[in-house]
A and B are shown apart, each in its own frame.
Chain A
Amino acid sequence: MKFLRVNMTTQTVQWEDVPKKYSTLGGRALTSIVVNSEVPATTDPLGNENKLIFAPGYFTGTTLVNTGRLSVGAKSPLTGGIKESNVGGTVGFSLAKLGIKAIIVEGKAADESSFVLNIEDEEVATLVRSDELKGMRTYAVAEKLHAKFGESKSVTCIGPAGDFQLLSASIQSTDLDGRPCRAAGRGGLGAVMGSKGLKAIVVDRTGRVSEEMANLERFKQASKAYAKDVKADEFSGEILPELGTAVLVEPINAAGAFPTNNARMGQFKGVEKLNGETMAKLIKERGGKTKHKGCSQCIIDCSNEFVTEKGEYVTSSLEYETIWSMGGMIGNDNLDAIARLDFLCDDIGLDTMNTGVAIAVAFDAGYGEFGDAEVAIRLVEEVAAGTKMGMLIGNGPDAVGIHFNHDRVPTVKGQSIAAYDPRAIQGMAVTYATTPMGADHTAGWVVDQNLEAFGGTVEPHGPKGQVEISRNTQIHMAAVDTVGICDFAQSGLATDEGIGNVFTMMSAKSGLSFGEKNWAELGKTVIKVELEFNRKAGLTNKDDRLPLMFYNEPLPPYNVVVKVSDKDMDSTFDY
C-alpha cells in the first residue's frame, strides 16, 4: 500500500511507502493521526499549512461487505478543531484497489487556479489544470469529468460552496450510478479542498491490487459470517431496503426528539407528510426507486431515487437527517421541496444539516417564516449565486446567528446538531457536547438505548447512565470509522459473535492477535489524538458545552431540558 502525497503549491505528486507505524490503520485513525502529527494545530484551516487527508477504511477493498467508506480529515474551518467526515459511494473501494492507503493533499495552488487530481492507476497520478471547472456545480463537474476521463471513473469533488471556501461546504462523491450525491458533509472540509485549489479527484475503478492479508482464508470465512448477520438482521436486512433511514422520522418524532422550527418543539405536526412510509409510497407510485445501492460492496441498499410526479430524477438519496433539516427543522412538510433542497445542497456542495439549520436560525430570527419552502430554496440558490445572504447561509448557523444577533443557535463548536434533540434524548447531549468533532450524531449514536425496549434501557430525559453509554459508543464508533464499516451494517457486529468476527478479520488481515481490549484501545487512541489536537488548537472544556437554549427552554411535548451537568460532561473521556 502507498501514500500519495500531493503538493498543490508545486503541483507535484509523490508516491511514498507507508510508514510501518501506520500499516494496521485506516479511515479515521489514519486521517486523525496524520493531521495531528503533520498539521500545526493553530494554523489557519484555509491556509497553506493545513492538510486534507483521504483514507479508505482498514477493511475497505477487502471481501467484507459494506466497507466502501472513505474518511476525509483536516483541521476544520467550521469547528477550529480536528475533523473526520466519511463518505460512501465508489471512491474508497477504488482507492483501496489501487493500493492507496491515503492521499495527503498539502500546500495551496495560486489564487484562481483550479486542478483535478487524476489517479489513472496504481502508479500514475497527475494534477490537471482545470480553471474552467471553478465555480461549477457538482453534477456538471461529474458529467464533464466523466466525458473527459471515462464514464466509469469515480469522481470526488466540491461545488461552488467549496470554491467560495464556505464553512458548510461538503465534499461530494459519486455513487454507483455516477452521481455526486454521496457527501462527506460535515465540518466544512469542502472549503479546505477549495482553499487548496483542488476541484476534484478522479479515480480509476479497475484497480486490482490485492489487499495485504496475513490469512486470507480466515478473513473470508469471518467476512462471510458477518454478511450473513447483516442480511438476517431485521433493520439492515428488511427495513432499510424498504424505507431507508427515513424510517426514523416517526419513532423519533414520537419520542419528542424531532427538532422542529429551530428546536422550539420536539414534535412536528406535519410528520405524516414526510415520514419514511409516505416517502417510500410516493417514490414507488411515481416510478422512482427504493432499495437502491449507493455504495460499493453494499448488500443493504438503504439508498433511494426520489422522482417528480412525472418520474423525472430529483435526488438520491433522500435520508432521515435531510428530511429533518430541510423539513421539520424549518417547519416544511413538503417532501418535494425537501427533495429539491437535498439535490441543491449536493449540487452546490453543502452539508444539508448545517445548511438547513442555518435557514432555521434565519427563520427563527424573523427572516422568512417557518414552513416557507420557497424562501428556503431561494436561500440555498443564493449560496451558489454568491449573494451576501447566500454567504451567510453557506457559512452555517453561527454566521446567521451573529448577523441577526440571535442567540437560539443549536450548534456545538460551530457545527449544527443533527436530527435528535439533546433534551429528549440526553445521551445525544453528551455526544454532541463532547465529541472532538462538534455536534455530530454519528460519533456516538445512543438513540436505541434511550428509546428501545419500550421506552429505553436508560431514562431518556434524565442524566443517569448517559455519559457512560455515550463514552462507550464514541470509543466503539472511532474504531468502526477506522475499519470503514458503514454505520448501517453494524448489525453484523451487534452480538458477541458478530464483533468476534470483526476481531478475527482484524487479526487475519494484520497477522497480529486482536481482541476486545485492542478494539477499545483503538477507539480510545483515536479520540485521544483528536482531543490532543483540539487542545493544542486552543479548544477547552468550555467548548464542550451545548448552547443555553438546551438548558433553559423546556422542549414540548415532554417539557424537558438537558440535565447532564458540566462536571459529568467533562468526565466523558476520563479513561
Chain B
Amino acid sequence: MKALVRLYGTLPEHYPDNYPDGGLEVEIWENISVAELVELVQVAREHVAIVSINGMLSKADDVIPDGAQVKFFQSITGG
C-alpha cells in the first residue's frame, strides 16, 4: 500500500531529507491513521496542524486509504 504525501508551507524545510517537489511516495499499512503517517514521515508533529486526505480535511485518527494523496499543512494565523 502506498500514499503520496505532500508538504506545504515551509514544511519541506522540516523534512529530515531532501524533499522532492512532487511529494513523497510512502509505503503504508492497512488502517494507518493520520497521526501515524505524520510520525512515519518524520516531520515533528508540532509542525503539522492540518491534514487533508484526497482533498478532504481529516482528523488525527482518520484512516489513510491505499493510493491516497495526503497534504500536510502548518499552523496558520490570519486576518
Q: Name A residues whose Cβ lies closer than 8 Å to a Cβ of B.
A: 234-236, 238-239, 242-243, 245, 247-248, 250-251, 254-256, 267, 275-277, 320, 441-442, 445, 447-448, 451-455, 460, 477, 487-488, 490-491, 557-558
Contacts and interface: CB of A to CB of B under 8 A. Distances in A.
A458 to B, nearest CB: 13
A454 B74 CA distance: 10
A488 B76 CA distance: 10
Q: Is the interface of B mostly helix, strand, loop or mixed?
A: loop
Interface residues of B, number: 25
Interface string B35-63: 10000000000010111100111111000
A446 to B, nearest CB: 10
Contact of A248 (B51, B59, B78): B78
B8 interface: yes
A247 B58 CA distance: 19
A227 to B, nearest CB: 16
**What are the 10 A-B residue pairs with the smallest beta carbon separation, nearest first?**
A487-B79, A254-B52, A454-B60, A251-B73, A452-B49, A442-B79, A455-B59, A445-B79, A235-B77, A445-B78
B75 interface: yes
Nearest to B51: A454
Contacts of A236: 77
A514 B79 CA distance: 26
Contact of B50 (A234, A235, A254, A557): A254
Contacts of B60: 454-455
B7 to A, nearest CB: 10
Interface string B62-77: 0000000001011111
A441 B77 CA distance: 12
A491 B65 CA distance: 36
B10 to A, nearest CB: 5
Given A242-B10, A454-B59, A487-B77, 8 more contacts: A238-B13, A254-B56, A255-B50, A256-B57, A276-B9, A277-B8, A452-B49, A488-B77
B79 A254 contact: no
A452 B10 contact: no
B50 A251 contact: yes
A251 B73 CA distance: 6
A452 B58 CA distance: 10
B49 A239 contact: no
A212 B55 CA distance: 52
A447 B50 contact: no
A235 B75 contact: yes
A79 B62 CA distance: 43
A481 to B, nearest CB: 10
B23 to A, nearest CB: 12
B34 interface: yes
B74 A234 contact: yes
Nearest to A277: B8
A441 B78 CA distance: 9
Contact of B47 (A234, A245, A250, A455): A234
B78 A254 contact: no
29 contacts: A234-B10, A235-B75, A235-B76, A235-B77, A238-B13, A239-B10, A242-B9, A243-B9, A245-B78, A250-B8, A250-B71, A254-B52, A254-B55, A254-B71, A254-B73, A255-B50, A441-B78, A441-B79, A447-B76, A448-B75, A448-B77, A451-B49, A451-B57, A454-B58, A455-B50, A455-B57, A487-B78, A488-B77, A490-B79
